[in-house]
Structures are given as C-alpha cells and as structure tokens.
C-alpha cells in the first residue's frame, strides 16, 4: 500500500491548532521524529483518526510515522512549523 492510498485525508485545523489525519485502517501507534531524525514521541492510537496538537512541536521539520495494526511498514508524513 503506498502512502498516497494510506491516508484518507490530512489537514491542519488552524482554529484548534492541530493536525488531523484520517486513514483507511486503524493505526496502532504514531512516532514523531525531529529534524535530526531523533524519536521524540511514540503515542498509542488504536483508531483510524488521529489529532495531533501543534503544542507537541517546536519550530522546524518533523516526520510522523504511522504503523498499522499487524503491519511492519511505517508510513510517513512530513510537517514543517515556523
């Protein structure tokens, strides 16, 4: 499954200052990596909808890894906060 077909939708809700991800299948957990590639957070999800507050991030580029239940491939999304 490619990353394009993994996400149903990806948006940034400016009013609530949060990233919103919807996927076709349930996500087991997400991982957030900083610009240096260091793992900053690993959060359990168990849902096909993920809301991530901007407050978890500083300035810069981050990679968010999504792991589906029972799968070994992690799908990534890149975000950049200024």
Query: pLDDT tens digits, residue range 17-66?
Result: 999 999 988 999 999 999 999 999 999 999 999 999 999 899 999 999 99
Q: What is the pTM of this model?
A: 0.85
Q: Are residues 45 and 31 in contact, defined by beta-carbon separation less than 8 angstroms?
A: no
pLDDT-based confidence at 5, cuts 50/70/90?
confident
pLDDT-based confidence at 1, cuts 50/70/90?
very low
CA-nearest of 11, 10, 48, 8 to 28 is 48
pLDDT greater than 90 at residue 2: no
């Amino acid at each position: 499954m490619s990353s394009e077909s993994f996400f149903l939708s990806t948006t940034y809700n400016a009013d609530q200052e949060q990233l919103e991800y919807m996927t076709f299948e349930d996500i087991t957990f997400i991982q957030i990596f900083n610009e240096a590639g260091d793992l900053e957070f690993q959060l359990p999800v168990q849902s096909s909808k993920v809301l991530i507050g901007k407050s978890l991030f500083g300035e810069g580029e981050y990679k968010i890894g999504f792991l589906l239940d029972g799968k070994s491939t992690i799908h990534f999304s890149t975000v950049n906060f200024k």
